[in-house]
Amino acid sequence: MSVEQAYGSWLLGPSHQSPRRLRVRIQVLLTVFLLATHAIGALIVAVLANWVLPDTPTDDGLQLALAIAIPVYVGFALVVGAVVATREILRTLRWFQRGVVPDLDERRRALEVPMRLTRWQLGWWAGGTLLFTALSVILQPDRAISSALTVGLAGLVVCSIAYLLAEFALRPISAVALDAPQMLRERRGLGVGGRMVAFWLLGTGAPVVGLMLTAILVLAGNTVSVRRLAVVLLVVSAIAFVFGLFVTLLNARSVVEPVDDVRRALQHVEAGDLDQRLTVYDATELGQLQGGFNQMVAGLRERERLRDLFGRHVGHEVARAAVDREVALGGEARVVSVLFVDLLGSTAMAADRDPAEVVDLLNGFFEVVVEEIDRRGGIVNKFMGDAVLAIFGAPVELPDHAGRALAAARVMAERLAVEQPGVRAGVGVFTGTTVAGNVGTSRRLEYTVIGDAVNAASRLTDLAKQAPGSIAAAGETVAAASPQEAAHWTPWRVGEDAVLLRGRARPTDVYVVGSHT
């Protein structure tokens, strides 16, 4: 996912912003969210208490008391609450300001900050409920019940909204706190299901309870006109609708945003991009989902790395074949083309040159050899000191494997002459039946080919030291190759006698690179 929305919203900025900038951003968002939420809540309570609720008109004494108490108490609560909240956050998150890695206790306390802020806010609203109810009891007792219900229910709704906004603003802190395996294993709070039910009760259930209590007050004997009752129901319903919808939307976004993060990241993984890592900022099951995604992608990266290493060791075709089907001991008869390359004069070179220079020469030699083998679909089966054994046609069927092996031998010889003039190599190519498969034990095995074709390719490599271009191929290989590739090869004899390779009962037709006469 984009680092610009690492925390699920552009309001929180990118993950790479400086700690100082992030701290200022969090404090500004928290201050704006909390002050605005509680100020709007207090305003709505004042409107409801004075002009909407079905009750007797407010007498002059209570009006005067409320005119003084409401702004003083609300202002005091907002200012002191903001100061106390800021001080508590700074104290709890001192490790974040210093830029140090928190311990487990500090991580747990950081995740508790939104709930602690909400508890303080509930305390201020509880204090307001007691204050305004007491004023009503003293100055106008018949308004005491409506005052208590209005302030109390409003406090519950407003604090639920403030909690969701605080949790949103503190996501960057939660992300740091949750960046530890042990934290993701610990489930906190009510979980997603419990939280959704709780916020429905606070955001929608509480206003509906207010409507029910209004009806009960009317039924209990409070005289009120039909018009005023209709106004009350309409206003309270509108407030319930707006605040209930707002709470539901905030709660839904807190659930949807982590899921959306995972969905977008999965699309990248499906496209082959394994460099994905989600920022875990939710302490519920959703955070465990984000963390589980990170663990899954890390496992996929590790698997891909092992496959790559495995492929480099045994050949990517062998690795893919091992992944696609069960690996078991045993082999099968396969007609393949074997290419053997042996560096000439390596012993003298190692004795006369600096070791680093020898390694550089060997690496340059192997790079040319392996590139040409890979380009034509062969696999490097073994590196044997300064020699290479390659197979064309196993473990995966390869059309025209003889022609591919001949082309690889021919082109690598041309490239070595130009790119590695200080290196000479003999190349032998033979096509024949081999036993191809896994040998070893069930705990440690190797894919290889065994048989006459392998031995003959090795003998041809020795013979190639005398041949033009230092390449020798068997007649069986040239005959099996495509006409286009066979046209590059011509028969070659050593003296007057047919070539009898060591270990073989009959002579071998030998071909070298050249034109037919």
Take residue 278 and report the two structure tokens written for it.
């989600």
Q: Where are the beta strands (DSSP E) in 266-386?
A: 330-344, 379-384
**175, 257 contact by CB (below 8 A):** no
The mean pLDDT value for 355-377 works out to 87
Q: How confident is the model over 444-454, as a mean pLDDT?
A: 82
> 442: helix, coil or strand?
coil
Is residue 351 predicted with pLDDT exceeding 80? no
Q: Which of 102-106, 214-218, 286-290 has the lowest mean pLDDT?
A: 214-218
Stronger pLDDT, 17 or 221, i.e. the higher one: 17
Report which secondary-structure segment, H or E, holds 155.
Answer: helix 144-169
Q: Does the global pTM surpass 0.75?
A: no
Rounded distance between C-alpha atoms, residue 412 and residue 365, angstroms: 9
In this prediction, residue 12 carries a pLDDT of 82
Give the single-character DSSP code of 513: E
pLDDT-wise least confident of 19-23, 432-436, 489-493:
19-23
Considering only residues 310 and 478, tell me which one the structure prediction assigns the higher pLDDT. 478
The confidence band for 270, taking pLDDT boundaries of 50, 70 and 90, is confident
Q: What number is the average pLDDT over the span 156-171?
A: 81
Q: Which region among 80-94, 171-185, 330-344 has the lowest average model confidence (pLDDT)?
A: 80-94
Residue 49 is predicted with a pLDDT of: 67
Residue 308: count of CB within 10 angstroms of its CB: 12
Nearest to 56 by CA among 136, 129, 142: 142
Is the pLDDT assigned to residue 328 strictly greater than 90? no
Confidence band of 222 (pLDDT split at 50, 70, 90): low
Residue 3 pLDDT: 43
> What percent of the chain lies above the pLDDT cut of 70?
77
pLDDT for 311 equals 59
- Which range is most confident: 200-204, 442-446, 448-452, 484-488? 484-488
At 2, the pLDDT band (50, 70, 90 cuts) reads: very low
User: If you search the block for the tokens 């062998």, which residue do you land on?
Assistant: 318
Mean pLDDT on 452-472: 89
Helices 355-375 and 401-419: angle between axes, nearest 10 degrees: 150
**b/e burial code for range 464-499 (CB count within 10 A of at least 16 → b):** beebeebbbbbbbbbebbeeebbebbeebeeeeeeb
pLDDT for res 190: 61
Residue 457 neighbours by CB under 8 Å, 6+ apart: 338, 339, 340, 389, 428, 429, 430
Going by CATH, does the domain composed of 327-513 fall within 3.30.70.1230? yes
**What are the DSSP calls for 296-326, one per residue?**
HHHHHHHHHHHHHHHHHHH-HHHHHHHHHS-
**Average pLDDT of every residue of the chain:** 78
The string of pLDDT tens digits covering residues 52-99 is 555 556 666 666 666 666 676 677 776 776 667 667 676 777 787 777
Best mean pLDDT range from 43-47, 110-114, 142-146, 154-158: 110-114
8 Å CB contact between 53 and 233: no
For residue 471, what pLDDT band results from cuts at 50, 70 and 90? very high
Q: Residue ranges of the domains in the chain? A: 3-298, 327-513
What pLDDT does 484 receive? 93
* CA distance to 17, 215, 329, 391, per residue, from 428 (Å): 61, 100, 29, 12
SS3 at position 451? coil
Percent of the chain with pLDDT over 90: 13
Q: CA dihedral in degrees (33, 36, 39, 45; nearest 10)?
A: -90
Specify the range with the lowest mean pLDDT, choosing from 212-221, 325-334, 363-372.
325-334
Binning pLDDT at 50, 70 and 90, where does residue 327 land?
A: very low
CB count in 10 Å sphere of residue 69: 16
What is the pLDDT averaged over residues 225-239? 69
What is residue 494's predicted lDDT score, i.e. its pLDDT? 66
Distance of CA 200 to the CA centre of its chain: 32
Angle between helices 226-270 and 144-169 (to 10 degrees): 10
Long-range contacts of 178-181 (CB under 8 A, 24+ apart): 178/107, 178/111, 178/280, 178/281, 178/282, 178/283, 178/287, 178/291, 179/280, 180/104, 180/107
At 180-197, the pLDDT tens digits run 777 777 666 667 777 777
In eight-state DSSP terms, residue 9 is S
Per-residue pLDDT, 372: 94
